[in-house]
Amino acid sequence: MQSGADEGTGVADSVGPVFSVTLAKTFEHASALAGGSQGVTTSAGVSGVSQTTAVFLQYQQQFTQNLSGGVRANYSHFDADPSFNVLVANVGLTYALWRYISVGLSYSYQWSDANESGANETGSGAIDSNLVLLSVTASYPLFRGDL
């Protein structure tokens, strides 16, 4: 199987097997999820059609009755022309103030890189960003009783 992309077309040379695997484990006050996938994507309009390989991890923990938190990470490789990689990591806490109101604090880190080579140029670049989010969530059940 050949890897890479057709020169200048923005389309992957070949497509490997398409698969998706997810493993989940539930504990008394926590849950974990891990998995990976491979398939053909449009690369969100950035590079054309590509074979995309991704892996992810997620862990959720209930610390107290009102406090919960989680950690998530996702890495994707887009095999197009140019190829690029994206890593997103997130950590956050949520606290239930009242039955229908909760507040949250989260931090996200995103890193991406791209390798570009053309007839007269070769270049690469990496971009990383940080985001801190403070949220207030209000929810109200539309249905009362058991469904």
pLDDT digits (tens, 9 = 90+) for 88-115: 999 999 999 988 899 999 999 999 887 6
Q: Which of 116, 123, 129, 111 is nearest to 47 (CA)?
A: 116
pLDDT at 146: 56
pLDDT digits (tens, 9 = 90+) for 45-94: 555 677 888 999 999 999 999 999 999 999 998 887 777 889 999 999 99
Q: Model confidence at 3, in pLDDT bands (50, 70, 90)?
A: very low
pTM score above 0.75: no
pLDDT at 116: 58
Q: Which of 30, 98, 102 is nearest to 63 (CA)?
A: 30
Tell me the domains of the chain and their CATH numbers. 19-138 (2.40.160)
* Distance, CA of 89 to CA of 128 (rounded, Å): 11
